[in-house]
Amino acid sequence: MTTTLTKDTGSKAIIPLPPTTARIGAVAGAVVAFAGTMMPWTWTSAYPGDLTVYGYPAELQVVTLTGALLTALFALSGLGIRGLTWLTPGGKSSPVLLFALGTLGTVGYAMGSISYQLGGVVNLEPGAWISGVGALIAAVAALGLPAEVAPDEYEPNLWHRLRAATKAPEPGRSTKELPAWLEIVVIGVSFALGLYVFAYCIAAEAELFIGALITTCFGAAAVSRAGLLARLTTLTTKHRNVTMAAAIVAAACFPFTQTDDTYALIGANILIFTTVALGLNIVVGLAGLLDLGYVAFLGVGAYAAALVSGAPTSSIGVQFPFWAAVLTGAGASLVFGVVIGAPTLRLRGDYLAIVTLGFGEIFRIAMQNLNGNTGPDITNGSNGIPNIPDLEFFGFNFGESHEFLGTPLGRPSNYFFLMLIVLVFVVLVFRRSGDSRIGRAWVAIREDETAATAMGINGFRVKLIAFALGATLAGLAGTVQAHLQSTVTPEQYQFANTVPPNSAFLLAAVILGGMGTISGPLIGAALLYLIPKKLEFLEELQLLLFGLALVLLMRFRPEGLVANKRAQLQFHETDQLDVPDQRLPQDTVSVTKAGA
């Protein structure tokens, strides 16, 4: 097949190669990149790890090796090799390009960081250059593959070629339905793989984490473009109960994959963040209420639990048992949700957002002023309530180490399992309420409150229920957070700072993950907690990069990482490239095909 492209506007064109030639080139480049990982990348083990050994790849070399293997496998799958065609039920070209770009990005980052940290490219050994050249060859060859768009949509330049690679995949070819037991195995293996990637990233140092993040992001996009993610979604929808059980088992196995309590503590905080994000998803995702002060309900639950926990600095001086402390925190947040929501939920849009933002700031300032000087001595002011004792339930002290199946589990692991139980409860509440009559009323209010009211729905009552339920779930998570961190201070509950959870990050987690879904906010919250935690060395640049990431996300995937069908239809009605239809004689594209 020969393709001729002419463009009088002067833009640089990408000349598609014969598919077989391009795929062979991508495989060859991936093999060269793989070979480079078997050789040293630098002469010293000081940074970014020990990349000085022949035949033993480590850290960033392993990430590059993985990207190169996936590039080769997906390139070979398009050649019709038996046993590999199942890898690309949707797109055949774009996954190869995305994996190749991910590999190139990881190698480029590794080479750049080594040169910067060690003082120049002279510190790079031949293995790094070989992997870099191989990854570049694979990426260039992948760019030569035919774009997976209609001929009248094709634009022969790099920008539109990359945009075509990130489009939603076309429906894959019909395949033979798998046996039920094999579908369950596929779901289990998928969650096991997800657990491995998460455990690997959470235990990685900053430089390794960035390289793994680059490959993972491009890899996730490639898997989605290949149609594998859509196929997995079909299976998980078909076996919803099995999927939930597999997710719980995978999460419960996380503490057993870690040897350091620091990472288990990060996991416990991620569960707190995801639980609160799922509660906010009821308010924002289902009911469509823009709440910018939601983190205040987390603070209400935390402060209420801290005051009745028996802390030495508590002004109440009582110590409730575990179940009573949990009910106190959740109940206090429920009361505040009703008190704040009753007079304000008659507002809509920006006005409601401003009021909720004001409530969040009022809560933080009030906790600072209740210090005995500017107000009653209740919260100890800006010093907060420290030395909160650990929870104890039926003789089980969450602050002590325990051993399970021969594996010692420290204090963070105990709270991790407690938060996992809380998260499962919140997921069940979200799922049941979303499928109920009140859940359908929330969706109706979100889509068009005027029309819903005209159909007989009591808009104020429905919104107040959503607001109160979301506040209660946040307060429930706050009770555990107070005991996990052993202290609560007003600074923890600001609208925006570099340490989640806060209202800005919570709202971003819901939008990034996918409003109205269960798994979306869980994924979004996990990413928005883990990434800033691993990139603390960037300090002030974190918020800049966070804003840039949101801009890119809204540009390329406004419906979120895990979107429901309604959002996909809303944001991708035609699913076409945003290019002007001005193909006149001065901008002609002639395509001739010869042979098969």
- 315, 303 in Cβ contact below 8 A? no
Please compute the mean of the pLDDT values over residues 501-514 and round it to a whole number.
Answer: 85
Q: What are phi and psi of 4, to 5 degrees?
A: -115, 125
Q: What length does the chain have?
A: 596
pLDDT at 80 over 70: yes
In the chain, the percentage of residues whose pLDDT exceeds 70 is 86
**pLDDT tier at 89 (50, 70, 90 boundaries)?**
confident
DSSP H helical ranges for 144-239? 158-165, 180-202, 206-226, 228-238
Could you tell me if 338 and 344 are in contact, meaning their C-beta atoms sit under 8 angstroms apart? no
pLDDT, position 102: 93
Is residue 407's pLDDT more than 90? no
**pLDDT tens digits along 120-133:** 889 999 999 999 99
Q: Is the pLDDT of residue 164 over 70?
A: no
Give the pLDDT confidence score for residue 3 in this predicted structure.
37
pLDDT tens string 521-576 = 888 888 888 888 888 777 677 778 777 887 887 777 777 788 776 666 666 554 44
Whole-model pTM?
0.84
Report DSSP letters for 105-127, one per residue. HHHHHHHHHHHHHHTSGGGB-HH
101-128 mean pLDDT? 92
The label of the residue with tokens 């691993």 reads 534
Sign of the Cα torsion 420, 477, 371, 492 reads: positive
